[in-house]
Amino acid sequence: MKIVVVKDYAQMSIKGAELIAETVKSNPEAVLGLATGSTPEGLYSELIRMHKEEGLDFSKITTVNLDEYYGLSGDHPQSYRYFMNEKLFNHVNIDKNNTYVPNGGAEDIQEECKNYDKNIEKLGGIDLQLLGIGGNGHIAFNEPEEELNFGTHLTDLTKDTIEANSRFFDSIDEVPKKAVTMGIGSIMKAKKIVLLASGKGKAEAIKELTSGKITTDSPATILQVHHDVTLFVDEDAASLINISK
């Protein structure tokens, strides 16, 4: 695992965007695994800038998102489909038909989960997977549990995550209690993984992630066995690990 400590959120966003841009340039038909949350917002703004000012070309790129709230359809302002359209897809030359986000409003959610993994296989797998991390060590919506799921599945959100994500909703009661998420296996099959973390709230999860131990109590720790992971962490998120810049 390559750990790159950067000064702050802005630097983390630029470094992450540079890595994605490299992939897009070297393979214009790449499949990118994308994430939502506050963490990648700056990275998406930087990709938009690169597209507008430097002609970074997304016309043949395919994207696959990690997760979606259960029960929210793509036109709900708090849905992750809506987020992706607003924060990235509407501002670059990507073909929206080539952007995949789980359908949280699907009538048959089990079928939706099965088809989501099948589609990733059909696309030839994910070339580069972008990840954030929850304060409790979750990746996508793979929450700390006794067992972790391999494939895309419907999951209960923990109290911590519901509370953390309530900042985007008018009230905590509006936060969905379940989500559809890619599983640990779907994520680990990506050829390359880049994880971003910023702020003191992520320091404990980053400490666990770099501890040399793997535990389902902190799902991100499984990433330590992947052969190509880069962490871009700012000084606050890195404050509990012993790595100099």
Positions in the binding site for ligand GLP (CB under 6 A): 35-39, 66-67, 132-134, 140-141, 161, 165
Dihedral pair phi/psi, residue 198, rounded to 5°: -140, 140
Q: Indicate the helix (H) or strand (E) that contains 187.
A: helix 184-188
Minimal distance, residue 161 CB to ligand GLP, in Å = 6
Residue 186 has, within 13 A of its CA and on its CB side, a CA count of 33
Minimal distance, residue 138 CB to ligand GLP, in Å = 6
C-alpha distances (whole Å) from 212 to each of 17, 141, 199, 224, 239 are 27, 22, 22, 7, 17
State the catalytic residue, choosing from 68, 127, 143, 236.
Answer: 143
Q: Is the Cβ of residue 60 or residue 150 nearer to ligand GLP in the bound state?
A: 150
Which residues does residue 69 pair with via DSSP β-bridges, in sequence order? 179
Minimal distance, residue 21 CB to ligand GLP, in Å = 21
Q: Is residue 138 flagged as an active site residue?
A: yes
Six token digits for residue 98: 């080539």
State the catalytic residue, choosing from 65, 103, 136, 165.
Answer: 136
Q: Is the Cβ of residue 61 or residue 182 nearer to ligand GLP in the bound state?
A: 182
Six token digits for residue 100: 């995949």
Q: Is the Cβ of residue 87 or residue 189 nearer to ligand GLP in the bound state?
A: 87
Other C-beta atoms within 10 Å of 207: how many?
A: 17
Minimal distance, residue 54 CB to ligand GLP, in Å = 26
Q: Is the Cβ of residue 152 or residue 161 nearer to ligand GLP in the bound state?
A: 161
Q: 121 in helix, strand or coil? A: helix
Q: Is residue 143 flagged as an active site residue?
A: yes
Residue facing ligand GLP at closest CB distance: 132
Catalytic residues: 67, 136, 138, 143
